[in-house]
Chain A
Amino acid sequence: MNKQKKPRLSELFFLFFKMGGITFGGGYAMLPILQRELAETRKWVSEEELLDFYAIGQSTPGIIAVNTATFVGYRTAGIPGALAATAGMVTPSLIIITFIAAFLKTFSENIYVQKALRGVNISVAVLLLTSVYKFGVKSILDKTGMIICLLSFSLIIFAGWSPIPIVLLSITAGIVMHFIRKGMKG
């Protein structure tokens, strides 16, 4: 892992504040922004690590976005970092939802809101597709990796599996591969 500077807590808070304020759809929709801000621009974590955090966040209890924020915050600045990142992540929701609940209950019925959301979703699709490509380059290192990736995709889409058995099975596959490689070396 590259040497990183420890971020200031306010920097963590505002980064996740920004993320909470512009991501529609929660956990997975924030990945492209996490990738850009944390891995590419700031280099606080590597893309591989982001995938690991996300995998853990997906298979432990709680909201994925919060799990990932806590993980990244802890990785970069310890327990205070975890708290700052999580607080940043939820603050936009608190402000926006309180405002809407108080003054604008019919917000989501507005035709322009609906049109804008349809457009936003198209952008989210684009961002996610490019994220998949970038993560794919970093995580699929050989044929076995390709097979695991395709299996994971197909089992969820076509067989309706939940992510947790996929996470457990792929960890097992990684461990089995470890011993096969060791065995081959003698």
Chain B
Amino acid sequence: MSLAALFFEFFKIGLFTIGGGLATLPLLQDAAMTHGWFTLEQFFQMVAVSQSTPGPIGINMATYVGFETVGLIGGIVATAGLVCPSVIIILLVAKFFFHFNEKPLVRSAFLGLRPAVTGLIATAAFNVLLVAVFPWYLYKESGLLSELFDPARLGIFVVILTSYLYFKKHPALYIVAGAILGVIFL
């Protein structure tokens, strides 16, 4: 695998992904299989690591795949390839956006868009809630209501929520607190 080929493979993936990290996975799997980079099992291990470490999952995957195929430089090159289309496209869009965003018609368009995006973020919150606080996937497997309403998860949720609303400290603090409480109680 040459560095240039690695770069362009990830450039392509960045260009054809819409909707964020998880959407890169099928494209990546496809590329990995065609090039014979690694086995399916290795691929799933990479996905597991990318999901359980901080940072965007797409970037984590690119770094991992690049590192495994070419080594240290490969990780950097693959990540650069993945990021390039984003940077180019967003810079073009941003130029256009800041040129037109004061026009009344464009302002109105965004008045319609913003509540829709709030709804979109609400779906993300809802999905995380269904995995983390009310683990729907466990309930579906076992049919046990005690798994859907797990006192430990609910307790952590209430503690984090009330302390966040009350103390209003930096969000990062609550992420660390969640990790610690998780190790102790979950």
Residues on A lying within 8 angstroms of B by beta carbon are 18, 20-29, 31-33, 36, 48, 51-52, 54-67, 70-71, 74-75, 79, 82-83, 86, 89-90, 92-94, 96-98, 100-102, 105, 107-109, 112-132, 135-136, 138-141, 145-146, 148-153, 156-157, 162-164, 166-167, 169-178, 181
Q: How far is the CB of A118 from chain B (nearest CB, A)?
A: 5
B181, A48: Cβ atoms closer than 8 Å: no
**B48 nearest CB neighbor, chain A only:** A108
Chain A residues positioned under 8 Å from B164 (CB to CB):
126-127, 130
Q: Once bound together, how far apart are the Cα atoms of A26 and B182, in whole Å?
A: 20
Q: Once bound together, how far apart are the Cα atoms of A75 and B94, in whole Å?
A: 8
A57, B90: Cβ atoms closer than 8 Å: yes
Say yes or no: is B118 at the interface (Cβ < 8 Å to chain A): yes
Question: Given A63-B17, A120-B182, is A97 in contact with B63 using a C-beta cutoff of 8 Å?
Answer: yes
A100, B112: Cβ atoms closer than 8 Å: no
Chain A residues positioned under 8 Å from B161 (CB to CB):
126, 129
B48, A93: Cβ atoms closer than 8 Å: no
Q: How large is the interface on B (under 10, 10 to 19, 20 to 34, 35 or more residues)?
A: 35 or more
Q: How far is the CB of B61 from chain A (nearest CB, A)?
A: 8
Chain B residues positioned under 8 Å from A71 (CB to CB):
90, 94
B91, A79: Cβ atoms closer than 8 Å: yes
Q: Once bound together, how far apart are the Cα atoms of A53 and B161, in whole Å?
A: 27
B116 is contacted by which of A57, A108, A131, A149 (Cβ under 8 Å)? A149
1/0 contact trace for B76-97 toward A, CB 8 Å?
1001001101110111011001
Q: How far is the CB of B14 from chain A (nearest CB, A)?
A: 5
Say yes or no: is B156 at the interface (Cβ < 8 Å to chain A): yes
Chain B residues positioned under 8 Å from A178 (CB to CB):
104-105, 108-109, 111
Chain A residues positioned under 8 Å from B63 (CB to CB):
93-94, 97-98, 101
B156, A119: Cβ atoms closer than 8 Å: yes
Say yes or no: is B4 at the interface (Cβ < 8 Å to chain A): no
A149, B119: Cβ atoms closer than 8 Å: yes
Residues on B lying within 8 angstroms of A by beta carbon are 14-22, 24, 45, 48-60, 63-64, 67-68, 72, 75-76, 79, 82-83, 85-87, 89-91, 93-94, 97-98, 101, 104-105, 108-126, 128-129, 131-133, 153, 156-157, 160-161, 164-165, 170-172, 174-175, 177-183, 185-186
Q: How far is the CB of A179 from chain B (nearest CB, A)?
A: 9
Q: Once bound together, how far apart are the Cα atoms of A18 and B94, in whole Å?
A: 24
B182 is contacted by which of A66, A119, A149 (Cβ under 8 Å)? A119
Q: How far is the CB of B157 from chain A (nearest CB, A)?
A: 5
B157 is contacted by which of A90, A126, A162 (Cβ under 8 Å)? A126
Q: Once bound together, how far apart are the Cα atoms of A51 and B35, in whole Å?
A: 39
Question: Given A36-B171, A60-B18, A118-B186, is A90 in contact with B118 using a C-beta cutoff of 8 Å?
Answer: no
B54, A125: Cβ atoms closer than 8 Å: no
Interface centre among A63, A105, A130 (most CB of B within 10 A): A63
B18, A127: Cβ atoms closer than 8 Å: no
A115, B83: Cβ atoms closer than 8 Å: no
**B89 nearest CB neighbor, chain A only:** A60
Q: How far is the CB of B123 from chain A (nearest CB, A)?
A: 5
Q: Once bound together, how far apart are the Cα atoms of A140 and B114, in whole Å?
A: 8
**B117 nearest CB neighbor, chain A only:** A55
Q: Once bound together, how far apart are the Cα atoms of A149 and B119, in whole Å?
A: 5
**A27 nearest CB neighbor, chain B only:** B20
Q: Once bound together, how far apart are the Cα atoms of A151 and B82, in whole Å?
A: 33
B118, A83: Cβ atoms closer than 8 Å: no
